[in-house]
């Protein structure tokens, strides 16, 4: 997991254009750089980091070096009217005791101490033969390093829900491979353009992203021709999962991911979700399942995908959506309808015409 984090860190820093050198220390990862703004922006959305800090690093292993540095600079750090606290952290291997570190540093700082609510903090870490000194911990993205929990196929519509679902899975260490179903040339390429724009945003959290663009119009036309309107949405979703499962096998993926939330629309009732899920044996993960729309929108705004997702588009489902889709599908009826669709050929043709883009 640590190796994966360092790999992702190197990729993010290279992408930012920062000049840097990484030291993989025992309990810390040190990034040596003059490009602090670029580095900070990269670290802020790197999954696997609980916090990070701009740090002074001392490799001499001597408390005297830290003491001398603090003595020369503390007046620049803490204003006369401000209170401060000294926060000490040390490993058993470091040669100095905690009390000795405090006794060496604290008397040099002529400011009022407030351990509970200080206006400034000085963090000092003693680790074997190295010392760190910093003033503020920045909250990291948390979660697990992207890629440490295997690969997932994520169905990406370009709407509000699916980017949030992908983000939540990436935060838990999954590598997303996106599938976008489109109806071009029956509609414009706006949905595809939105997905590409979302991909540019998403690579902030996942170092590399692969997207499959799947033509879906012929499948939809066949379903429209052979199935009564109220069952069309369920049939669309089942075929999407069948295609997703084929690609998941090819890409050695562990599961499928969707942006479905229980009861949000007619196709997402408990009964209809069971009918949709029956289309494949691969596990289907639904990270948004218990969330309402307001919660999902709030998350979308937080990760800055919302403004992209609400751009107008004609996606593959809205083009052929029936006026009154059923909220209570019938499994036997659905399977009878599928027998008349020649799905195997339709799926093969769609996969042959799929386009792959890398970000």
The residue from 111, 139, 167 where one domain ends is 139
**Residues 103, 182 within the same domain:** no
Q: Low-confidence residues of the chain, pLDDT below 70?
A: 314-325, 327
Tell me how many degrees the CA angle 242-236-352 measures, rounded to the nearest 5. Answer: 50
pLDDT of residue 210: 98
The residue from 85, 106, 139 where one domain ends is 139
d(C-alpha 334, C-alpha 239), whole Å: 12
DSSP 311: S
**Residues 197, 91 within the same domain:** no
Residue 263 lies in a domain: yes
pLDDT of residue 68: 94
Q: How far is CA 258 from CA 27, 156, 303, in A?
A: 37, 8, 18
Residue 144 lies in a domain: no
Q: Is the peptide bond before 185 cis (omega within 30 degrees of 0)?
A: yes
The residue from 139, 170, 197 where one domain ends is 139
Instruction: Check which CATH number belongs to the domain holding 226 and give it.
Output: 3.40.50.620
Residues in contact with 11: Cβ distance below 8 Å, sequence separation at least 6, in sequence order? 207, 208
Residue 146 lies in a domain: no
Residue 103 lies in a domain: yes
Q: How far is CA 337 from CA 15, 122, 144, 231, 350, in A?
A: 49, 69, 43, 9, 20
**Residues 307, 170 within the same domain:** yes
d(C-alpha 301, C-alpha 309), whole Å: 10
213-268 pLDDT, tens per residue? 999 999 999 998 888 888 899 999 999 999 999 999 999 999 999 999 999 887 89
**Residues 227, 286 within the same domain:** yes
d(C-alpha 321, C-alpha 67), whole Å: 71
d(C-alpha 157, C-alpha 4), whole Å: 29
User: Residue 98 is part of which domain span?
Assistant: 2-139
**Residues 165, 301 within the same domain:** yes
- Give the residue ranges of DSSP H helices in 45-91: 63-77
Instruction: Check which CATH number belongs to the domain holding 97 and give it.
Output: 3.30.2130.30
Domain count, the chain: 2
pLDDT of residue 317: 55
Residue 74 lies in a domain: yes
């Amino acid at each position: 997991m640590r190796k994966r984090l360092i790999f992702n860190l190197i990729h993010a820093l290279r992408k930012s254009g920062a000049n840097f050198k990484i030291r993989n220390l025992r309990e810390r990862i040190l990034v040596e750089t003059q490009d602090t703004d670029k580095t900070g922006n990269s670290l802020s959305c790197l999954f696997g980091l609980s916090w990070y800090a701009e740090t002074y690093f001392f490799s001499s292993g001597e408390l005297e070096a830290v003491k001398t540095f603090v003595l020369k600079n503390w007046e620049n750090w803490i204003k006369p009217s401000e209170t401060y606290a000294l926060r000490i952290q040390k490993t058993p291997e470091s040669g100095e005791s905690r009390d000795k570190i405090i006794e060496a540093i604290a008397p040099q700082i002529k400011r009022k101490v407030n351990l509970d609510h200080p206006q400034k903090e000085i963090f000092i870490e003693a680790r074997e033969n190295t010392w760190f000194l910093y003033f503020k911990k920045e909250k990291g993205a948390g979660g697990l390093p992207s890629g440490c929990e295997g690969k997932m196929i994520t169905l990406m519509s370009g709407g509000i829900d699916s980017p949030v679902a992908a983000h939540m899975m990436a935060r838990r260490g999954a590598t997303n491979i996106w599938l976008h179903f489109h109806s071009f040339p029956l509609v414009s390429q706006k949905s595809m353009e939105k997905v590409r724009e979302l991909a540019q945003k998403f690579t902030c959290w996942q170092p590399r992203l692969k997207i499959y663009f799947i033509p879906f119009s012929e499948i939809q036309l066949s379903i429209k021709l052979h199935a009564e309107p109220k069952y069309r949405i369920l049939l669309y979703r089942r075929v999407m999962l069948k295609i997703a499962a084929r690609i998941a096998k090819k890409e050695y993926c562990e599961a499928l991911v969707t942006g479905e939330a229980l009861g949000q629309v007619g196709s997402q009732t408990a009964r209809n979700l069971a009918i949709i899920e029956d289309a494949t044996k691969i596990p289907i993960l639904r990270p948004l399942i218990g969330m309402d729309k307001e919660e999902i929108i709030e998350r979308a705004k937080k990760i800055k995908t919302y403004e992209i997702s609400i751009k107008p588009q004609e996606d593959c489902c809205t083009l052929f959506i029936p006026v009154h889709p059923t909220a209570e599908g019938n499994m036997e009826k659905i399977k009878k309808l599928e027998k008349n669709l020649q799905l195997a050929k339709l799926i093969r043709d769609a996969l042959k015409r799929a386009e792959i883009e890398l970000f």
